[in-house]
Chain A
Amino acid sequence: MCSLGVFPAPVTAAQTLLERNNELLSALHPGEHPQTHEPLSACVSVPRFLAVGSACVLALLRWASSFHGSLFPHLTLSSDEMVAEFSQMLDWSDSALRSFAWHPHTDKFAVALLDDSIRIYKSNSSATPTLKHRCQRSVCALQWKPLCGSALAVACQSCLLIWHVDPTSLSTRPSSGCAQVLSHPGHSPITSIAWSPTGSLLVSASPVDTAMMVWDVAAESAVPLQRVGGGGVTYLSWSPDGSRLLAATPSALFRVWETRMWTCERWPCLKGSCQVRKLRKLSITVFELMYAFIYFFKLTFFSQTSWDPRGERLAVLLKGDSQAVNHPSVIAVFKTRSSPVFELLPCGFVMGEAGAEPRFMQFHPHFQHGALLTVCWSDGRISHVPFYFSSAGLLGGDSPQQALASNTADHSSNKLYTEQIS
């Protein structure tokens, strides 16, 4: 990819601290340490004949579904492998951190750990509630409910859990009575969940189930939306205005649902530039373009992209090669602008401590002074990298000069249009 050449060379020895005056500054500085617990030893003894019998039945079922599996190879994976395959966290199975989610409105985040517990950290409180539930296994995704202070949705292997964690309580171990268990036969493991931006609906997806579930959480009722093509649904994302929902499938196909009457259109995801041109013809929104990006470049090397809420910084996690020595995963950050034309300008690489690879990243949803990128590293650390800039959209704001400076500096030479990328 020629466009990476225009990036400033990564400083390998140091950890990236922040962006100021258009430059990424680095230093040796420790990030935030979540304490990991030793895994719970959950040992349930099963009678031998039962185990053998059920294994035989399962094998028979597997064999019967092998034809289906030959059409959709992901169906032959075991439940855990499937979660690892489709989780947003890189190398999910041996990662100390299983999932991460910022609260959309306040300074608090939830982290799922290897021992299937979830911890909640708040900015101005030392209490860190630990959430444990007997159904909470193989946590694959977390998301806080928008327009709500307490509800956290957890995608587990067998079900969907909705925790109601009272923000004012000082309890460190909320009881499992605070959790609602939502499950639907045939709908597991759940690998992706998405709250609607108004907080009224929750959509969940499983790679095994061709239907995605639209939950009315308070009523605990689900409406299945079934489309057979694609063999399952792996990833879900709402557009910020709540009018569209993207649903990706394990095969080369994804769907965009409109959320008024819940009809969908299929977007086959082929290699090649004709698709990008087609997208441009459709006068698509930024949201769709962004997800089109994910799905075109996942084929090559992109693994995760995250856009800050103001739409000015785009972080891309480039997946490394596990065989090669000198190919670690890195995060490349772009400056973006969506008007008058869509632009991508290189900003730099975000580096962690020596030997640590990024596994997951997410922008803080409402950082005051620019953007704040939170990165989960392979050694179990979580670091926050602030990007200080003034928004180009707020030119009448407090420091217009600075905003102009930060956005016009390298306009002249290295423009990256979408067509050039493709």
Chain B
Amino acid sequence: MIFECLVLLIAWSVLLLPVTAAVFVLLSRFSLFHPIQWISECTSLLTASSTIFSLVVLCGVVLITGLFNLEFYTLVPSIPCSRMALLGTVLHPRQCVHSLVYCTMGMLVMWCASVTIGGRYSTLGIPCRQSESGEVVTCLNEYHLFLLLAGAFMGYSHSFLGVVQNMYYVSFQPIQQYKYPRFKGCLPMVVKCSVIQSLYSARNFAALYFFFGYAPKTWISSTLHLQIDSSLQPLDSLTGLLDFSLLYHLTISGTFLYFTWYLTVLLFRIYVTEAYSFPVQSTFTEDAEQCLPKVLAETNTLVMKFFALQDLALLSQHSLSRRLEVFCLSQPGGHPHNWNAISRECLSLLSELTQRLVAHQDAVASNGRVKSQSASSDTRSASLSSSVMSGTEDIAETPRLGVPLRTPGSVFKSSVGGVHSALTAPFTPDVDSPFSSPAIRRLVGQQEPRSPWFGTVQSPHIMRRGPKLWSASTESQSNGSPPASPVTVPSPPAASEKPSFLAQWLQNRREQVKSFLAKRVLIVYLFNKLPEASSQALFADSQVHIWALQGLSHLVAASFSEDQFGVVQTTLPNILSCLVVLLEAVDRHFKLPHASSKPARAVCRMGDSTYKTLRFALRAALKTAIYKITTTFGEHLNAVNISTEHRKRLQQFLEFKE
């Protein structure tokens, strides 16, 4: 399925390439006063062999872009919790390879563009006359070099912004559309984005070249033994850069470059997010693996889970016949296997989210308590530093439930699982405490995570919690919830007086180092928590929860009239209490600082920022789901067997007071 996607995507991008190339040629050769000459020149150029060769090169570029899209795309965005983590992601070897490849591709495209524009841009070396001797030598063509370097710069900035803006995050649209109308609808946005991005890049590159342009120029001319033509105006000067035609060509070529890449990204998104319909049940046993309940229960491929839940949400709203299949009973035996499997899977997803939220709240709450206690025993500066360094919230304590869902992933990655998560896990928010972040571990010294010295630069509150972590309740660790009781360490037992003195001394040193570090502005800047990031990270994969909520609520509401055997009624108490518990957890989460602050809206970006608002979408979907059920069942809900607090909460919904 994914490979079909890739083939179609590359085919379409390649087919669209001549069109964009033609537009580019028309724009680059534009002359207002000689329209006929302009048109005839362009047509002859479009059929020239050099253009065909350029197109072949561009096809190669598109192919590589497509492959990179497939390799890097993710349905769950990775959200760095501090600037250090972001830096780590940018410097990650995988990302470095990506940047390198994109730089090369940028240079290739720019080379094609400069050849196509022709004139003074066409070659790197041009013949020129030396001023003293008057003989003809090969000189460096700075215009060509300028465009090539611009290509490399744009390639790198594309790759860099890809990380910062989560370019490879693929979000699902709120409505379904056919591919062609969707493409048509998005095309103006892509053109606009590429023009804007190209303008920004051109400005930045011009500034960069003005200051540092001398270095690559001399390097190239010395390695390739090209002379520098002193009669021409050098480009790294103000007068050289204020050349309108040069800037125009730079912008046009940049737009062409970005458009090629963005178009591939757009086509990829359209192909990947196309809805896929699974059969609810199959009469043949060999197809049983493809059925919706089976695919839902499957955990190893994340993509399939997304598709299955999307299909569930769609069928619950739009397809009566498939809903009836969900509600039907198995032929021998008369068990509602389909409904049981689907509802079990949805409920487990939702309760997993509830546990995640509760664990996060506990972590935040216990952090606060530990800190307030420790402030009395420690020096003021240390406690200050600890609060500065660790921020008010810390996601590190959240246990990693639902590991398969949290790894950012493509099929390949999730199939190779372990290796990948070992590679990128350091930079995903789950294990990302500011000071236990492996980046600093690397800075301080290469230490094995398992070695006894691991944790020398642990964050203060984790250290202070240390005794409790290792001595006390092992079962609370094993079941994944962080120990919530406050620490009572400051009075250690008398028997261990001596070693604890040593430990105390070590810890004091450590605190001093840390308070020293905490005063350095750069360190604080790098390790300070980005606000909202932990909240965003918690809800990073909430699209599946939203679909599960929609699917469940619509199925339950439809069951009121369509469920002939009453299969839904048996699970109704479970569903209701699960929803109410989740609602309480979500409500409490929104009371945390930064959780309910809205992110600023991005103006025009290719990167998708929907993940920033997923928590609001989840809250809205949850309330709508409960309302859907309560308005459908009305007074009948009083007959459902649920606890009194939950009934009280549901009564609020019945009276529309939520």
Contact = CB atoms under 8 A, between A and B. Distances in A.
Interface stretch (B30-38, B202-210, B500-508, B622-630): B622-630
B6 to A, nearest CB: 24
Most buried by B among A103, A168, A223, A242: A223
Interface string A234-255: 0000000011000000000000
Nearest to A243: B318
B658 A216 contact: no
A148 B185 contact: no
Interface string B625-658: 0011001000000000000000000000101111
Contact of A167 (B173, B314, B610, B656): B656
Contacts of A218: 613, 616-617, 619-621
B520 interface: no
A220 B613 contact: yes
Interface string B195-227: 000000000000000000000000000000000
A74 to B, nearest CB: 23
Contact of B185 (A201, A226, A242): A226
Contact of A148 (B173, B176, B610, B624): B624
A219 B620 CA distance: 10
Contacts of A201: 174-175
A113 interface: no
B185 A147 contact: no
Given A200-B550, A214-B174, A225 B185 contact: yes
Contact of A105 (B176, B181, B631): B631
Nearest to B604: A185
Nearest to B656: A149
A186 B624 CA distance: 31
B228 interface: no
Contacts of B177: 223, 261-262
Contact of B628 (A106, A198, A214, A262): A198
A181 to B, nearest CB: 9
B173 A223 contact: yes
B617 A148 contact: no
B185 A261 contact: no
Contacts of A105: 631, 656
B550 A219 contact: no
A168 B656 CA distance: 10
A199 interface: yes
A223 B624 contact: no
Given A167-B657, A219-B617, A147 B176 contact: no
A262 B181 contact: yes
B178 interface: yes
B656 A223 contact: no
B614 interface: yes
A259 B655 CA distance: 30
A214 B656 contact: no
B450 interface: no
Interface in B165-188: 173-178, 181, 184-185
A229 to B, nearest CB: 15
A69 interface: no
A54 to B, nearest CB: 22
Interface string A96-111: 0000000101100000
A408 interface: no
A1 B508 CA distance: 95
A216 B92 CA distance: 35
B601 interface: yes
Interface in A186-211: 198-201
A148 B601 contact: no
B317 interface: yes
Nearest to B623: A148
Which of B174, B177, B314, B610 has the largest count of A CB atoms less than 10 A from its CB? B174
Nearest to B655: A106
Contact of B175 (A148, A199, A214): A214
Given A147-B631, A261-B177, A261-B178, A199 B185 contact: no
Interface residues of B, number: 34
A150 interface: yes
A168 B613 contact: no
A71 B61 CA distance: 45
B174 A223 contact: yes
Contact of A147 (B174, B178, B628): B628
Contact of B624 (A103, A147, A168): A147
Given A147-B624, A226-B185, A263 B178 contact: yes
A406 to B, nearest CB: 26
A216 B617 contact: yes
Nearest to A211: B185
A173 to B, nearest CB: 20
A255 to B, nearest CB: 13
A221 interface: yes
B185 A223 contact: yes
Given A216-B174, A262-B176, A198 B658 contact: no
B616 A219 contact: yes
Contacts of A260: 176, 314, 318
A221 B174 contact: yes
Contact of A262 (B175, B601, B623): B175
A201, A216, A263: most-surrounded residue (chain B CB, <10 A): A216
Given A262-B176, A262-B177, A149 B550 contact: no
B175 A198 contact: no
A303 B102 CA distance: 60
A148 B656 CA distance: 7
Contacts of B656: 103, 105-106, 149, 167
A185 to B, nearest CB: 9
Given A106-B656, A261-B177, A224 B185 contact: yes
B624 to A, nearest CB: 5
A167 B621 CA distance: 19
A217 interface: yes
A261 B317 CA distance: 13
A167 B658 CA distance: 7
A261 B628 CA distance: 23
A196 to B, nearest CB: 10
A158 B585 CA distance: 37
A245 to B, nearest CB: 11
B658 A200 contact: no
| B185, B627, B656 — most chain A CB neighbours (10 Å) | B656
A150 B658 contact: yes
A354 B318 CA distance: 50
A148 B652 CA distance: 12
A299 B624 CA distance: 39
Contacts of A106: 655-656
Nearest to B550: A200
B445 to A, nearest CB: 44
A198 B317 contact: yes
Nearest to B318: A260
A260 B175 CA distance: 8
Contacts of A168: 657
Contacts of B178: 261, 263
B657 A219 contact: no
Nearest to A219: B613
Nearest to A103: B656
B614 A219 contact: yes
A224 B185 CA distance: 7
15 contacts: A106-B655, A149-B653, A149-B656, A167-B656, A180-B598, A198-B554, A200-B174, A200-B621, A201-B174, A218-B620, A219-B174, A219-B610, A259-B175, A262-B176, A262-B177
Nearest 5 pairs between A and B by C-beta?
A216-B174, A218-B617, A149-B656, A147-B627, A218-B620
Interface of B: 173-178, 181, 184-185, 314, 317-318, 550, 554, 598, 601, 610, 613-614, 616-617, 619-621, 623-624, 627-628, 631, 653, 655-658
Interface of A: 103, 105-106, 147-150, 167-168, 180, 198-201, 214, 216-221, 223-226, 242-243, 259-263
Given A147-B631, A223-B173, 6 more contacts: A147-B623, A150-B658, A201-B175, A220-B598, A223-B177, A225-B185
